[in-house]
Structure 1
Amino acid sequence: MSASASKGGFVSLSNRCNESKSPYVRSHSNNPTAWQLWSPETLELSKRTNRLLFVSIGYSACHWCHVMAHESFMDDRIAQLLNEHFIPVKVDREERPDVDKVYMDFLQATTGGGGWPLNVFVTPDLQPLFGGTYWPGPKSERAHHGGGFETILTKVASAWKEQEARCRESASNITDQLRQFAQEGTLSGRRSGEGIDGSDDGLELELLEEAYDHYKSRYDEQNGGFGGAPKFPTPSHLSFLLRLGEWDGIVKDIVGDDAVQNSQKMVVKTLDNMAKGGIKDQVGHGFARYSVTKDWSLPHFEKMLYDNAQLLPLYLDAWLITKNPLFLETAHDIATYLTSSPIQSPAGGFHASEDADSAPSASEKEHKEGAFYVWSHSEFYKALTDEKLASILAKHWNVKPNGNVSPKHDIQGELKGLNTLCVTLSITDLSQQFGLSEQDTVQAIQIGRQRLSDWRDQHRPRPLLDDKIVVSWNGLAIGGLARTSAALKESEPAASRRYLEAAVSASQFIRRELYDSQTKTLRRVYREGPGATAGFADDYAFLISGLIDLYEATFDDSYLQWADELQQSQIQHFADNESETKGGFFGTPALAPDILIRSKDAMDNAEPSANGVSATNLFRLSSLLDDSNYSALATRTAKAFEVEMVQHPGLFTGLMSAVVNSRLDVKPIVISGTDASSEVKSALSQLHQMVRPGSTVVRLGGDSKSDWLRQRNEVLGSIEQDRDMVQVCEGTSCKLIKAAELQELLKGTHV
């Protein structure tokens, strides 16, 4: 790796990106920048040579990562500065979210913003000194007023050479502040079990109302969603608002009827506008990462597995609650995306993402943002072959002769004269305008969509695929597909089977390739074999959640048994059990050697928080397994972030389920008997057609596999599984009910 590595002396580095399995890191293997990998060897080299690390973090589908790579990391002058004065390190944030979190927290704390590429100068002791996101390269028109990357490199190199002690002191002070921030939310100084006011009352249900108020104040009445541009789907927040009215009646009484109804209206409008907007691939399937505009019309074109995996159960819930056919259609669209090439791996599991950029045609080499998805007016008409059909669909999707993308949103000028497809004219209005029946209009749209899809596939190279298989994101997809399969089992059996098979296949792949049955631990990533990185808290949490959903879709208790094993491992390696006044789960295992700060994730962002999902998992497992230790740990996990939740409840919607569950029991609905029983059929049908945040379902007898579960849960072991009945269990007793009473029971109106 180096010809000489003496302290402060000459060191010759070569680009090592080809040694990585990450597609993102490998894409930089042709850079003159001598990228190193985040490894003990590299970190030791930094100490030995007393050089700052230049850590550049991104991911394969990141558009601005590509821009900076082209402008800067391929530039000989930039490469010379990096290679002479720093140890440049390239990191895939999806492989190492722990490294990304430390330095993203630093960037947000010091600048108030963040994003990718994330570039940070780090001392040999891993302490952050200075950072930013995209910095313009030397030949970029944006490199002016002293803000270009070359200027930054020169200044930082000079500061380290001439004022090293001051730099180290500054980095140390910043690190101390970050550590203090990371340690907040652990109830330090309070007796375990005490509430905010010193009482033993614990978390209050009024937090739900305060969280609702937060989103009500930020809601975009015109376009849906929250805040202005850029606008993100935020599935965790939307799910919280949508489910407010599906809890026990006590919750509705506290939050209020108006808040519950308005929450649903906000979500319905948001999901409706997203489904019709450019953020959704109107020709193919799936959703893009986010919208550049507040009206959802112009996406940032990358497609991420974790976004689509979260949006699937959200649209499913919206359909189950409202019966709006658009939401079911959209759920099918997302599920089709997940279960089709290129996202679904032939080996099982789901790939990570598709790039934002691609070549406009097979004959062009330069990649442009959105090239696979946007249309010129002439190409749109040419692809549809029929003038009248093209006229109808141009009105439907707002296709204009000079394009529909505003120059102010097209920073690089790559979308000039092009159109993103957004539904701007309803079926009814379209039918009236062209003198068609609504049935003929729908058929025209279906024909046109297929023709455009075929044209796109034949004439345009598809965006590059990041074919990593990430455990946490696969867990989200497994859960969404399992729930969708269960909901459609009776009405659409073929689709139900397809979705379930994909979920089962993904779980089998992870168990086969990324799970060590001896140590009961996970690896995070598979690509060309299992990766070296151990699983993080979110890998365990999201997979456990998906396995519980898979159990409730199949009633095969092997999924529940594996979830139980994983939960025990997560507790062993990630739970904060240092004292009675702490709690929650760290994101990284205890023995992680190369992490500056070990922190706990509780705020919901693009992905749900590991602690929010973990707390919900623990309550669900406690209900299914009659394990009070799990419910106690769930409450303890939520209470670890009590201070933050009280101050900013809208940022912790993933923990709101735990707030409710700490007050109200999660009701286990136990259904036993033969599959042919009308009572059994009725109960299962109802339960799969309901959004049930406060209950779990157990199936005994029939085709279910429940031997392990009956041994793990003594109460279930005592139930006659061949007798046709529906019961609600609490503690050691179960109450017999009628299937017709389930709706009232779960809504809290039945005593």
Structure 2
Amino acid sequence: MASSPPGHVSLTNRCRDSKSPYVRAHMDNPTAWQLWNAETLALARKTNRPLFVSIGYSACHWCHVMAHESFDDPRIAQLLNEHFIPVKIDREERPDIDRQYMDFLQATTGAGGWPLNVFVTPDLEPVLGGTYWPGPKTKRALAGGGSFEDVLTKVAQAWKEQEKSIRESGSQIARQLREFAQEGSLGGRQANGDIGDGEQDGLELDLLEESYQHYKQRFDTQYGGFGGAPKFPTPIHIGQMLRLNSYGSDVREIVGEDECQDAQQMALKTLTFMYKGGIKDQVGHGFARYSVTRDWNLPHFEKMLYDNAQLLPLYLDAWLLTNDPLYLEATMDIATYLTSKPMLSPLGAIHASEDADSLPTAADKEKREGAFYVYSVDEIQRVLSAQEADVITRYWGLQAAGNIDPQFDAQGELKGQNTLCVQMTPNELATELELPETKVNDLLKSSRQKLLAYRDSNRPRPALDDKIVTAWNGLAISGLARTAAALASSHPSESADYLSAAIGAAECIRNHLYQPSTKTLLRVYRDGPGSTPGFADDYAFLISGLIDLYTATFDASWLRWATDLQESQTSLFWDTHKHGFFSTAADQPDILVRTKDGMDNAEPSVNGVAAHNLHCLGSLLDDAGYAKMARRTVAAFEVEISQHPGLFSGMMPSIVAAKSSMQGLVVAGKGGVADKAVQAVRRGVRPTCTILRIGSDIKETEWLRQRNQLVKDLDAEKEFVQLCEGSSCKVLDGAGVDDFFKSA
């Protein structure tokens, strides 16, 4: 190792200059972290040092582990500070940077995850990446398994001795990434050349059957979900299976009646096991990010807004389709989590996440994973009565030595602890204990209340990432608005709370993250608006939320704002040559590649959501231009969808809309048939159905009349329901409304 590093400069830790809780958590590291900005990138070029870019997020457990093992270590800090420009990035603030380097990592190693650590040249070209590397004092490193220190030493030496070849390799990798991105998707190339105007002519409804078969083959018949451990909810895919039976007769004829029912049962089984598993906070509210184990019982304990926001409408639809009280309970549990402290911001929007790690007690000095959520049997017996403890121990399958397999406890932090996972039904418990079932339910309820009070009083709560992320709030607005609308008649008090929260979140975004003069969004708010412009997902997810908020309120100002945002999304992100939406704007200065998001992952794909938004706006406003753009968006991914339909669940509603047409209800006035239609839509599950309502008491009705020629001359006070499908419209009476919804 050379004693004099490339480029002599004294670095100081700049993390305190960031507003991100994740970045600020590293401000006391001896590692001299820099922020990703023009100054830092210029410094790398000036000093000719490679950048070490470390990307993570506040709730990430393994990010904390690596920070403790390596970034707090003086020797590691010395290597980083002398030979590299170390940069810390919050992936939730800059998903574009995270995406380009994650694509590199997955392409070169076949794996991904966080922390994402990548070495890049001063020209931002990646040369080596990884996720968690063990610290120098860990068992693996001491046993000769290799450590982060070894990686740093080798890269520093290689840069000193082989800089030219490293730069050439980085340039080749960057060129390949750019070429792939510039070519666009296979579907986009084909649509641009061989399919006329590129409006998904080759995508047929039988793709839904192929998608079903994909998930049928991967379905875990024992525990639900798709694939083995680790097991992620992937709400967008569960939702496609859940709602497959709700598209209408065209889809059922092609997929098969039995297959559609089977798909729904797969989804319901998955949702049931998740709700009973350790991934669900059985004492409090909300779901953790994912399960380490196949049976959903051992999570990594972070709770993310985007997961819970997507799970909310899933459980809502499960209840609407089955009337099973378990799914209603789950729906209200998630809605309560999103609309209560600490998740609900005083500004009205919803915070980003809660950490996986926390202090076991206020007296402890070191955080542990899951400390807020797990219990020992001794604790249970101290907090509860003997009878309550007996019931709960059986109900959750608690064990004196703990119920967590040591192979999944790499840090030894969960020894002797239990995750809470429902193992028996109240009826089974009642039979086993020879008690009335009502008594068992009372004991379960009182036990939960005592354990929650004990937890809140004796355990420090996990750290809150109190960023407000525009895209994720869009997802939450959508779920809360739909839930409020569906529960308006059966649970009016809770419905009002959820609707108030949805409106509050939308108003917060409009007041703090929207720039009316340019009709553009910002990505993040924390202690003031951030400087990062909104990405395509911020626009798409918020537009989707506003459409659902309009359906819940019939306040057309939300719909009007959605159209303004759609104009901006199109202006900033639309690919005028090959169609579809780029994830980043054309003028983004500090990225290597401009990608398009077509496949669904932990979050739904931008283009899938955008296409559905466009179909909905086209139906609501009788605007063929929106529908045409929706078809072209899907066509940009036509080849990929045809080859792997199971990876494009978010595109399926738009494929159905294009082939079977959207179904748009126009409602005027008040009365039996009008109110019946509204109630049916709000309490129904029809992915390709919209509803528009006009009346003297409807805000922005005149704007609607100007935007939608179908309602321009309608008498807003006369009771009226009209169904439009494609270019055909017909008036429905009460029986017609009933028949329409029975056909779903």
The alignment's TM-score, normalised by the length of structure 1, stands at 0.96
Mapped pair 1:662 → 2:661 = no
> Contact 1:667–1:694 at 8 Å: present in 2 too?
yes
Q: Which residue of 1 aligns with 2:633?
A: 637
> Contact 1:274–1:280 at 8 Å: present in 2 too?
yes
SS of the counterpart of 2:586?
coil
Mapped pair 1:735 → 2:734 = no
Give the number of aligned pairs.
Answer: 738
SS of the counterpart of 1:375?
coil
**Amino acid corresponding to residue 725 of structure 1 in structure 2:** F
Which piece of structure 1 moves more, 427-436 or 549-558? Answer: 427-436
Mapped pair 1:692 → 2:692 = no
- Residue among 691, 706, 714 paired with 1:711: 706
Q: How does 1:476-487 map to 2 (within 5 A)?
A: 476-487=475-486
Q: Which residue of 1 aligns with 2:433?
A: 434
> Contact 2:187–2:640 at 8 Å: present in 1 too?
no
What's the CA shift for 1:178? 2.0
> Contact 2:200–2:634 at 8 Å: present in 1 too?
no
Q: How does 1:334-733 map to 2 (within 5 A)?
A: 334-384=334-384, 386-577=385-576, 579=577, 582-674=578-670, 677-701=671-695, 703-705=697-699, 706-730=701-725
SS of the counterpart of 2:550?
helix
What's the CA shift for 1:442? 1.6
Alignment partners' CA distance in 1, 2:349 and 2:697: 26
Shift of the 743–132 alpha-carbon distance from structure 1 to 2, 3 Å rule, reads farther
> Contact 2:663–2:723 at 8 Å: present in 1 too?
yes
What's the CA shift for 1:146? 5.0
Report Cα offsets for 1:268-325 as digits up to 9, x if no partner: 1000000000000000000000001000011110000000000000000111111111
**Amino acid corresponding to residue 535 of structure 1 in structure 2:** G
Shift of the 504–232 alpha-carbon distance from structure 1 to 2, 3 Å rule, reads same
What's the CA shift for 1:733? 6.1
> Contact 2:191–2:636 at 8 Å: present in 1 too?
no
Shift of the 692–743 alpha-carbon distance from structure 1 to 2, 3 Å rule, reads farther
What's the CA shift for 1:91? 0.1
> Contact 1:726–1:739 at 8 Å: present in 2 too?
no
Q: How does 1:111-190 map to 2 (within 5 A)?
A: 111-143=109-141, 144-182=143-181, 183-185=183-185, 187=187, 189-190=189-190
SS of the counterpart of 1:37?
coil
SS of the counterpart of 2:190?
coil
SS of the counterpart of 2:127?
strand
Report Cα offsets for 1:40-74 as digits up to 9, x if no partner: 11011111111100000000000000000000000
> Contact 2:478–2:546 at 8 Å: present in 1 too?
yes
SS of the counterpart of 2:254?
helix
SS of the counterpart of 1:670?
strand
Unaligned runs of at least 5 residues, structure 1: 1-5
Q: Which residue of 1 aligns with 2:17?
A: 19
Q: Which residue of 1 aligns with 2:307?
A: 307
Alignment partners' CA distance in 1, 2:479 and 2:493: 17
Report Cα offsets for 1:499-542 as digits up to 9, x if no partner: 00000000000000000000000000000000000000000000
Q: Which residue of 2 aligns with 1:215?
A: 215
> Contact 1:339–1:499 at 8 Å: present in 2 too?
yes
What's the CA shift for 1:199? 11
**Amino acid corresponding to residue 538 of structure 2 in structure 1:** D
**Amino acid corresponding to residue 601 of structure 1 in structure 2:** D
**Amino acid corresponding to residue 715 of structure 2 in structure 1:** E
Shift of the 191–698 alpha-carbon distance from structure 1 to 2, 3 Å rule, reads closer
Alignment partners' CA distance in 2, 1:291 and 1:227: 12
The alignment's TM-score, normalised by the length of structure 2, stands at 0.97
SS of the counterpart of 2:139?
coil
SS of the counterpart of 1:418?
coil
Q: Which residue of 2 aligns with 1:3?
A: none
What's the CA shift for 1:190? 3.3
Alignment partners' CA distance in 1, 2:533 and 2:460: 35
Alignment partners' CA distance in 2, 1:9 and 1:64: 32
Shift of the 461–719 alpha-carbon distance from structure 1 to 2, 3 Å rule, reads same
SS of the counterpart of 2:108?
helix
What's the CA shift for 1:191? 5.1
Give runs of ≥4 in structure 1 deviating > 6 Å: none
What's the CA shift for 1:603? 0.9
Report Cα offsets for 1:430-489 as digits up to 9, x if no partner: 111222222222222111111100000000000000000000000000000000000000
> Contact 1:7–1:50 at 8 Å: present in 2 too?
no
Alignment partners' CA distance in 1, 2:191 and 2:506: 40
Shift of the 188–340 alpha-carbon distance from structure 1 to 2, 3 Å rule, reads closer
**Amino acid corresponding to residue 722 of structure 1 in structure 2:** E
SS of the counterpart of 1:734?
strand
Alignment partners' CA distance in 1, 2:276 and 2:624: 45
